[in-house]
Structure 1
Amino acid sequence: MLKVNEYFDGKVKSIALQTATLPATVGVMEAGDYEFGTSQKEVMTVVSGSMDALLPGATEWATFNQGDSFEVAANVKFQVRMAGQTAYFCTYE
């Protein structure tokens, strides 16, 4: 069954699904700045648009464009910011 998630007053929405191998979400974020916490390892791929991310241990923001991915360890916080609507696909391990 699909599960719809909504965060930050509806500015981030995702749908949870089960891929052939891993649980995942596909979603969209409105322009803005957001902080997320992880409970599992995540691999996020930008599907449309672009996203800046300040990953754990980093001192500089990195930009991820359509087709780019980044990995975040379990039990950490990370920040993202978008200038416009951005779609993503995220798997969880």
Structure 2
Amino acid sequence: MLKVNQYFDGKVASIALNTATLPATVGVMLPGEYTFGTQQFETMTVISGALTVLLPGAAQWQTFADGDSFTVAANQEFKVQVAADTAYFCTYGE
């Protein structure tokens, strides 16, 4: 069974699944600015569009586009700016 989640008044939606190796989500973010918290190590890959991200401890925002990935350790917060509809794939765990 797939689990669908919506956040930020429906501007972020994800579908949870189990890959062959790790739990994951695939989702979409509409334009806006969001703050996410992690419960475990995450690897996020942009499928389409771009995410401008302020990673924990970073002083400067970084932009990740189609095919780019970034990681965030467990129990951290990171900020995301989205200028256009963006799709992502995120795995959980190391």
In structure 1, stretches of 5+ residues that fail to align are none
Deviation at 1:28, TM superposition (A): 0.1
Determine the C-alpha separation between the residues in 2 that align with 1:21 and 1:65.
Answer: 24
| Deviation digits for residues 8-59 of structure 1 (CA, Å, limit 9, x no counterpart) | 0000000000000000000000000000000000000000001100000100
Q: What is the one-letter code of the residue matched to 1:24? A: A
Determine the C-alpha separation between the residues in 1 that align with 2:36 and 2:49.
Answer: 19
| Deviation digits for residues 36-83 of structure 1 (CA, Å, limit 9, x no counterpart) | 000000000000001100000100000000000000000000000110
TM-score for the superposition, normalised by structure 2: 0.98
TM-score for the superposition, normalised by structure 1: 0.99
Q: What is the one-letter code of the residue matched to 2:46? A: V
In structure 2, stretches of 5+ residues that fail to align are none
Runs of 4+ in 1 over 6 A off after TM superposition: none
Determine the C-alpha separation between the residues in 2 that align with 1:38 and 1:65.
Answer: 21
User: Aligned with 1:10: secondary structure?
Assistant: coil
Give the equivalent residue in structure 1 for 2:23: 23
Determine the C-alpha separation between the residues in 2 that align with 1:69 and 1:4.
Answer: 23
Determine the C-alpha separation between the residues in 1 that align with 2:47 and 2:30.
Answer: 14
Equivalenced residues, count: 93
User: Aligned with 2:60: secondary structure?
Assistant: coil
Give the equivalent residue in structure 2 for 1:44: 44
5 Å matches for 1:1-93?
Answer: 1-93=1-93
Determine the C-alpha separation between the residues in 2 that align with 1:19 and 1:2.
Answer: 12
Determine the C-alpha separation between the residues in 1 that align with 2:10 and 2:21.
Answer: 29
Determine the C-alpha separation between the residues in 2 that align with 1:90 and 1:54.
Answer: 17
